[in-house]
C-alpha cells in the first residue's frame, strides 16, 4: 500500500514538474511590442483653486494648473457660479 502511494506521489510530482517546464518554454516565445504613443500618455492634473472670501463678502481666487484652457474654463465657471462679472 505504501509502495503504491509513493509511486502515485512520484508520478504526480513528475507530471507537475514536466508540465511547468513546458509552460515556461511557451512563455519565452511571446514577443512584447511597446507602443511609444501609449507610453507617453499622462493623466491630466486638475486645476487647483484657492478660494478666498473677504470680510466684505467678496470672493477672490487663485488658479493653478498645467493646461491653460482648463484654467480659463474654471475661471469662467467660478465667475458664473459666484455671480461675478
Strands 48-53 and 59-64: antiparallel
- Assign 3-class secondary structure to 56-74: CCCEEEEEECCCHHHHHHH
pTM of the model: 0.47
- Domain coordinates of the chain in residue numbers? 2-29, 44-81
Q: CA 71 to CA 47: how far, in whole Å?
A: 6
Of 1 and 49, the one with more pLDDT: 49
Partners of residue 60 on adjacent β-strands: 52
Host H or E run for residue 76: helix 68-81
pLDDT in tens, 24-62: 555 566 677 777 666 666 778 899 999 898 999 888 899
Work out the mean pLDDT of the chain and round it to a whole number: 79
Position 78 scores a pLDDT of 86
Phi, psi of 78 (to 5 degrees): -65, -40
Position 41 scores a pLDDT of 65
Amino acid at each position: 500500500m505504501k509502495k503504491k502511494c509513493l509511486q502515485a506521489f512520484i508520478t504526480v510530482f513528475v507530471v507537475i514538474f514536466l508540465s511547468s517546464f513546458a509552460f515556461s518554454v511557451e512563455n519565452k516565445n511571446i514577443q512584447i511590442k511597446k507602443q511609444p504613443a501609449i507610453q507617453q500618455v499622462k493623466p491630466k492634473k486638475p486645476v487647483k483653486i484657492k478660494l478666498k472670501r473677504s470680510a466684505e463678502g467678496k470672493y477672490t481666487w487663485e488658479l493653478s494648473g498645467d493646461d491653460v484652457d482648463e484654467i480659463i474654463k474654471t475661471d469662467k465657471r467660478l465667475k458664473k457660479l459666484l455671480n461675478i462679472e
